[in-house]
Amino acid sequence: MDTPHAIDVAVIGGGPAGLQAALTIGRVHRRATLFDDGRYRNATVAHMHNVVTHDGTPPAEFRATARAQLAAYATVDVREERVETVAPLDGGGFLLTGGSGHEVVAAAVVLATGLRDELPGIEGLDALWGDLVAACPFCHGHEAAGRRVGILGSAAAPHLSRILGPVAGSLVVLPHEDEAPDGLPDGVAVAPGRVERAHRDGDEVVLTLADGREERVAALFVAPRFTQSAPFAAQLGLELNPSGCIRVDELGRTSVAGVSAGGDLAHQAALPMPMVSVVQAMAGGQLAASGALMGLLSAAH
């Protein structure tokens, strides 16, 4: 087993939140190690949108640019490694243990491990996720402009129909296992019945219903269930919001001193759920890094 290393901040997660947190820490020459086990929430996405100066950039290119820029900061180290446990140490700081048994001691921790999505159990849906099937109309709607667009499930259908109304040529809601939704805007069609399968045909999604009917749409919007992708909130006993995301204050600080969190996995109590986007994740990562650094500065006095 390696000798534990003492660093200022361990950043767990190499998506937009963790990359920004590591950059912020590097800018003031604090020692940071960023851990990344390569499982990004937008892994299936070819082009990300609604990111000013990066509208249409492949996420992998965005991450590669961020890594290249981080390499200019001598106090920042990036490790392709999964962290298994984070444990508080008597007297302050945290012990991180990696999958290989490798250990790191850090004065503070920034959690940026993101969320995992769980789609409705419809055959073929997972294969289209991030391509023709998506959750966020700001990320994907424009690419289907003027065409027929589907919304799966009723809960978010009234809200999504209003957002997508000016973008789509027409809208159809597929309640699937829900009751038909109330409060849809005029002109939105409803295709009742259980959806059995989804597959791609050219640039369309074909949805096959239980009675054999088919609906063809240029894009399908779904509201996935999400969960924490890493066990650290539970390991550290962090306070959660009703959404299941980590509760943070205005500086990304969690309920445990020395632990900050930013990105999809965390939000302030005033919000019902995280504002899921690359820009928001970067902002959250920067706040979490600031919260961690403030803790280090006040501990030094």
Ligand X SMILES: Cc1cc2nc3c(=O)[nH]c(=O)nc-3n(C[C@H](O)[C@H](O)[C@H](O)COP(=O)(O)OP(=O)(O)OC[C@H]3O[C@@H](n4cnc5c(N)ncnc54)[C@H](O)[C@@H]3O)c2cc1C
Closer to ligand X by CB, 79 or 209: give it: 79
Between 40 and 188, CB nearer to ligand X: 40
Smallest distance from the beta carbon of 169 to ligand X, in angstroms?
21
Looking at the Cβ atoms of 153 and 263, the one nearer to ligand X is 263
Q: CB of residue 299 vs ligand X: minimum separation in angstroms? A: 25
Note whether 231 and 156 are within 8 A (CB): no
Cα-to-chain-centroid distance, residue 133:
16
Q: Which is nearer to ligand X, 62 or 173 (CB)?
A: 62
CA distance 202 to 200: 6
- Which is closer to ligand X, CB of 35 or CB of 188? 35
| Total H helices, total E strands in the chain | 7, 19
* DSSP strand pairing (148-152 vs 225-228): unpaired
Alpha helices by DSSP H, the chain: 16-27, 59-70, 125-128, 137-140, 157-164, 232-236, 278-299
Cα distances from 170 to residues 30, 164, 184, 198, 204, in angstroms, run 53, 9, 13, 19, 14
**Rounded to the nearest whole angstrom, what is the least distance from the CB of residue 180 to ligand X in the complex?**
26
Nearest distance, CB of residue 91 and ligand X, angstroms: 25
List residues near ligand X by CB under 6 A.
12-18, 35-42, 45, 48-51, 82-83, 112-114, 117, 129-130, 134, 136, 139, 229-230, 263-264, 276-279, 281
Measured CA to CA, the distance from residue 114 to residue 277 in angstroms comes to: 11
Which residue type is seen at 88?
Answer: P
Reported as type and span, the H/E element at residue 206 is: strand 204-209
The nearer residue to ligand X, 24 or 191, going by C-beta atoms, is 24
SS3 string, 214-256, reads EEEECEEECCCEEEECCCHHHHHCCCECCCCCEECCCCCECCC
Smallest distance from the beta carbon of 22 to ligand X, in angstroms? Answer: 11
We find the least distance from the C-beta atom of residue 59 to ligand X, in angstroms, to be: 7
Task: Decide whether 96 or 188 has the Cβ nearer to ligand X.
Answer: 96
